[in-house]
Amino acid sequence: MSVVTRFAPSPTGRLHVGNVRTAIHNWMWARRQGGRFLLRIDDTDAERSREAFVDSIRADLAWLGLGWDGEERQSQRFALYERRFAALKAAGRVYPCYETPQELELKRKVRLGRGLPPVYDQAALALTDAERATLEAGGRRPHWRFRLDHGAPIHWDDMIRGEQRFDPALLSDPVVRRADGSWLYMLPSAIDDVDMGVSHVVRGEDHVSNTATQIQMFSALDAAPPRFAHEALLVGSEGKLSKRLGSIGIDDFRAAGIEPLALIALLARIGTSDPVEPVQELAPLVAGMDFSRFGRAPARFDEAELAALNARIIHGTGFAAVAGRLPAGMGEDGWLAVRGNIATVAEAADWWAVVQGPLAPPALEPEDRAFTAAAADAAAAMGWAGDPWHDLTGALKQSTGRKGKALFLPLRRALTGRDHGPDMAALLPLIGREAAVARLRAAAAAD
């Protein structure tokens, strides 16, 4: 079987972590199986769809590195939906209904009051041609429902949830088309999944009951259903999908210095029994992709975990991967010197500014000023090749008897203006002899 997956966002907002997670899993599964990953823009709702969101969806996927092998837009496929709809109508699988929202609400209440499931009672199926003509003569336009076959239970073997069973009598016949002719999500999606040869539908568990209905749509369309994987929902660290989490766009993470790899590494693995790991490429995530590792409990998305993972990934990132994003003049030595001390790539520029100077001389204790004066003399006199930091501190240890913090901290302060930071052995060659001597002298002179 050739594997085809799809990510099918509605362009009614920016992508957020919840929908990007399903994009990642669809992408991973297609890559793992040597299949195709499609981007399908579900823009049947002309009123709420925006071209700007289509652009931001593409930009976010591109930034994440989730390349897609084909793109379709539902708004360009209406002719196909029309044809399939006509066939389903001829076969009696879609039927016109005339109830107003108020009438439906009343029916629902009556059914609930009688202890019946609040599903649509299929009353419109019993209308005669004459009754329909009368309703239409009175100005009512029909909306259309898909008729569920109540003959046998609906079931499928979900790749995450296992065997699923639904009694169709407990489901409402879904409205598939509004009175104005516009399409609701359910039927175009099933038509497209058939037409595009989608083999695996990976989506959130909020779609489970839609799947039950769509399984009957597939058979009404004379097609075998795809395999389904419904993943448990994503929740924030506080245990529910907060408004805040739903409103943070992928571009916000980008602006905050989160690497695409960090977001993918986290979203790919939370909610599974595989560990979240600071990977340096997508390949190991793809190779380990396995729906049987996915749990049924909500996946917990913790922004603090993301930030920590981001830092760990950066600490292991090679120069080539970031070269284009570093400040001018910062080469591989510079990157390797600072990467272990930063949480975002942008912070490399802070350390590069320290390397390049100018620095305000730090205020040192009088005895430390004398010590840095001696250090300046030693630095000016010694060779600079090899490992100047160890040569310098070795010589000063000998000449002054200082060791440990008393030896290192005044030097670090004088040379970087800070108490903490990257390994001085890596920084000092970057600062260079001339600047180092000048900084040590300036620290010696400052008060």
Give whichever of 230 and 402 is closer to ligand GLU, judged by the CB atom: 230
Q: Is 230 in the site for ligand GLU (CB under 6 A)?
A: no
Least Cβ distance, residue 283 to ligand GLU (angstroms): 26
Select the residue interacting with ligand GLU from 172, 189, 213, 416 (CB under 6 A).
189
Q: Is 10 in the site for ligand GLU (CB under 6 A)?
A: yes
Using N-to-C axis directions, what is the helix angle for 404-416 and 388-400, rounded to 10°?
130
With a CB cutoff of 8 Å and minimum separation 6, the contacts of 308 are: none
Least Cβ distance, residue 157 to ligand GLU (angstroms): 18
CB atoms within 10 A of CB 439: 26
**Residues β-bridged to residue 95:** 145
Give whichever of 228 and 301 is closer to ligand GLU, judged by the CB atom: 228
With a CB cutoff of 8 Å and minimum separation 6, the contacts of 284 are: 277
CB atoms within 10 A of CB 267: 24
How distant is the alpha carbon of residue 140 from its chain centre? 44
Q: Are 174 and 213 in contact (CB under 8 A)?
A: yes
Give the interface segment with ligand GLU, choosing from 7-15, 265-273, 315-323, 436-444 (CB under 6 A).
7-15
Q: Is 75 in the site for ligand GLU (CB under 6 A)?
A: no
Give the interface segment with ligand GLU, choosing from 3-11, 96-104, 316-324, 413-421 (CB under 6 A).
3-11
Q: Are 403 and 393 in contact (CB under 8 A)?
A: no
Task: Dump the DSSP string for 393-412.
Answer: HHHHHHHH---HHHHHHHHH
**For 355, what's the count of Cα atoms within 13 Å in the CB-facing half-sphere?**
27
Give whichever of 26 and 310 is closer to ligand GLU, judged by the CB atom: 26
Least Cβ distance, residue 2 to ligand GLU (angstroms): 19
Point out the residue whose Cβ comes nearest to ligand GLU: 42
Select the residue interacting with ligand GLU from 37, 85, 144, 185 (CB under 6 A).
185
Q: Is 8 in the site for ligand GLU (CB under 6 A)?
A: yes
End-to-end distance of the chain based on CA atoms, in angstroms?
77
Give the interface segment with ligand GLU, choosing from 2-10, 141-149, 158-166, 247-255 (CB under 6 A).
2-10
Q: Is 9 in the site for ligand GLU (CB under 6 A)?
A: yes
Tell me, what DSSP letter sits at residue 31? H
Select the residue interacting with ligand GLU from 31, 203, 230, 402 (CB under 6 A).
203
Contacting residues toward ligand GLU, per CB under 6 A:
8-10, 42, 185, 189, 203, 207
